[in-house]
């Protein structure tokens, strides 16, 4: 169903089913209490709103067979070859049913096999081409910063000027995913670029000011910057803003950073999340050997251990 001019899908759902406003508030509260990201909340709400607009009812008022028929239609939609609409709708409805205490309905939804696609990364030449593409200093600095520190989009827009410590060469990332703080190194060349940017743009409070209500830049705006500058290069890989973080992680592994240190730099909760980069990194292979040889630096001569 098309959006009415000037109305979002959520607004349409509330206009059609006023009770949906209460659902939105409950979802907002739960996401806040669980420390989940607002982007997760917004995605769930949009999907549930689509369902509400389609049926003209709240999900708990819809017969399970009707829900299944609706999901089949999404799964077979030729406009969504990756079945992303179907998957996100299942995730949204499952979250909704659990929130409403309807666990049986959540369990009855189709199970989704976890895809094992490896992240796509940019090589060094491609990164140089991308960072040279922007004509605006702000765009060049923000894209380079994401790669240089392995930042998530939300982390970039949350950075304050005070989070950059030029003397200690660190970046303080506050209350990111999983409500964790972390500190990552500030590259020397990045420090030069940031100082130039700060002098030219003179941002206020936030490192990157934008058109959001609180004066920040938006993740949507960052993604637009990435897309528009990719068009100026000869890069043909299917990459997005998050690919810069993937590239950061892979390149650090290739440059000898151990997986545990990388986990902390990325702010991952579990080492298993970080280990996916082991499948991409082109690390030098070390021939199988006994550590005893290294202990005495044995090189095959007749010296005794």
Tell me which residues are annotated as active site. Answer: 152, 177, 242, 245, 268, 277
CA 208, CA 140: separation in Å to the nearest integer?
A: 12
CA 205, CA 278: separation in Å to the nearest integer?
A: 38
DSSP at 15: H
3-state SS, one letter per residue, for 70-96: HHHHHHCCCCCCCCHHHHHHHHHHHHH
Beta bridge partners of 206: 160
Longest dimension (CA), the chain: 87
Q: Please say whether the beta carbons of 196 and 137 come within 8 A.
A: yes
Phi, psi of 186 (to 5 degrees): -100, 115
- Pair type for strands 182-185 and 164-165: unpaired
Q: Please say whether the beta carbons of 267 and 177 come within 8 A.
A: yes
CA 256, CA 166: separation in Å to the nearest integer?
A: 25
- Pair type for strands 170-173 and 164-165: antiparallel
CA 227, CA 106: separation in Å to the nearest integer?
A: 36
Which element (helix H / strand E) includes 69? helix 64-75
The residues, ordered by sequence, that sit 6+ positions from 135 with a Cβ below 8 Å of its Cβ are: none
Q: Please say whether the beta carbons of 110 and 90 come within 8 A.
A: yes
Alpha carbon separation from 248 to 182, 241, 255, 284 (Å, rounded): 16, 12, 11, 18
């Amino acid at each position: 169903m098309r959006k009415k001019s000037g109305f979002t899908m959520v607004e349409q759902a509330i206009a059609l089913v006023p009770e949906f406003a209460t659902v939105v508030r409950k979802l907002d509260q739960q996401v806040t209490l669980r420390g989940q990201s607002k982007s997760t909340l917004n995605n769930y709400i949009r999907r549930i709103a689509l369902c509400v607009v389609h049926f003209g009812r709240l999900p708990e008022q819809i017969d399970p067979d009707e829900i299944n028929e609706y999901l089949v239609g999404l799964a077979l939609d030729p406009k969504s070859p990756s079945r992303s609409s179907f998957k996100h709708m299942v995730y949204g409805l499952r979250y909704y049913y659990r929130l409403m205490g309807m666990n049986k309905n959540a369990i009855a939804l189709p199970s989704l096999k976890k895809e094992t696609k490896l992240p796509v990364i940019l090589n060094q030449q491609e990164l140089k081409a991308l960072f040279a593409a922007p004509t605006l200093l702000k765009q060049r600095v923000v894209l380079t910063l994401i790669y240089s520190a392995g930042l998530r989009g939300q982390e970039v827009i949350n950075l304050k000027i005070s989070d950059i410590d030029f003397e200690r060469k660190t970046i303080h990332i506050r209350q990111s995913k999983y409500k964790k703080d972390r500190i990552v190194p500030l590259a020397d060349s990045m420090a030069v670029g940031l100082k130039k940017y700060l002098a030219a743009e003179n941002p206020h409070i936030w490192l990157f000011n934008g058109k959001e209500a609180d004066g920040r830049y938006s993740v949507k705006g960052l993604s637009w910057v990435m897309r528009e500058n990719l068009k100026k290069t000869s890069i043909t890989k299917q990459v997005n803003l998050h690919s810069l973080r993937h590239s950061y992680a892979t390149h650090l592994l290739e440059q000898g950073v151990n997986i545990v240190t990388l986990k902390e730099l990325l702010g991952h909760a579990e080492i298993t999340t970080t280990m996916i980069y082991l499948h991409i990194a082109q690390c030098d292979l070390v021939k199988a050997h006994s550590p005893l040889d290294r202990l005495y630096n044995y090189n095959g001569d007749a010296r005794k251990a």
